[in-house]
Amino acid sequence: MKPLHECHVLVTPTSYGRFDPRQKTELETAVGRVTYNTTGKPLTSAQLQELLPDVDGYIAGLDEINETAVASAPCLRVIARYGVGTNNVDLAAAAAHGVIVTNTPGANAASVAELTIALMLNLQRPILAAAAETRQGGWPRLKGVSLVGKTVGLLGLGAIGKEVARRLAGFDCAVWAYDVVTDEAFARQHHVTLTALDALLTHADVLSLHLPVLPSTRQMVNADFLQQMKPGAYLINTSRGELVDEAALYTALATGHLAGAALDAFSQEPPGTENPLLSLPQVIPTPHMGAHSDDATNAMGRMALADCLAVLRGDEPLYRIV
């Protein structure tokens, strides 16, 4: 096994060390060579194939880590995901090539929850439109919707869903949730009503998605799902774009069945100006920025760095997936 001080580490998340430069210093001091992603966006499989052949450790963003990319890295021992989701990582290929995969569970939960609340408020109170008109000399009287007395539905009550529920406690709204794994103790403590999926869809004035991408959840927000939602409801997705059938969502919004949507994730990122959802004024699109805060960035960096170095030293990482 190569000594740590001779190892080469690839770091692709462009926010790594942004708020805490010590993370870069620690990594650069510990290993022999560090290569950073300078493209400003996630890397494709083809780009990884050029970078990975002599890489021992890989702190990975939302890159296309498929079987071809993994196979191009004979020295690779660890993929330390800088985040929670691993849907862009071919876990079977990693396991087959003896590569350990880790992630950073809970690191960005508070940050994503804060963005979720911000989008919720911006959807129901047209802050962006009001600011734009006021800048142009207008003084608009725009209608808004209050959260008081409304039902907010959380589809997924994991780490992020729970953080959203905690933050909703002061808004005098009802919080309902559905998850295949129920935490009844948390629900009781935070006054969350656990319910069936169909009841959640028909009662929620605002529905917020907090699910991982699995075969059972991929494009689960389809035409039938959307038709079951309460007329005039709002949809928020700060999770993954693969959860949503975007064509079906466009129809639900364009026909007025849904009042609006806030999307921090798209099936293709960036979505491109031709994505019809971007043409709708009742859609707030953001660039997958849920984890882009100082707190989340620092936590993800610390956890990914620790597990990457642990594997390269020959130790067991804390947050191993495969």
Q: Which among 269, 292, 302, 320 is annotated as catalytic?
A: 269
288 has catalytic annotation:
yes
Is residue 189 within 8 Å of residue 161, measured between CB atoms? no
User: Strand runs (DSSP E) across 87-149, as ranges?
Assistant: 100-102
Contacts of 7 (CB under 8 A, 6+ apart): 31, 32, 33, 56, 57, 312
Cβ atoms within 10 Å of 136's Cβ, excluding its own: 8
Judged by DSSP in three states, 189 sits in helix
Contacts from 65-69 at CB under 8 Å and sequence distance 24+?
65/89, 65/90, 65/94, 66/90, 66/93, 67/92, 67/93, 69/45
Cβ atoms within 10 Å of 29's Cβ, excluding its own: 10
- 19 is written with which tokens? 């708020």
Q: Which among 77, 81, 210, 240 is annotated as catalytic?
A: 240
Say if residue 212 is preceded by a cis peptide, omega within 30 of 0: no
**CA dist 31 to 60, 144, 310, Å?**
17, 54, 12
240 has catalytic annotation:
yes
- 281 is written with which tokens? 């004024």
Residue positions annotated with a catalytic role: 240, 269, 288
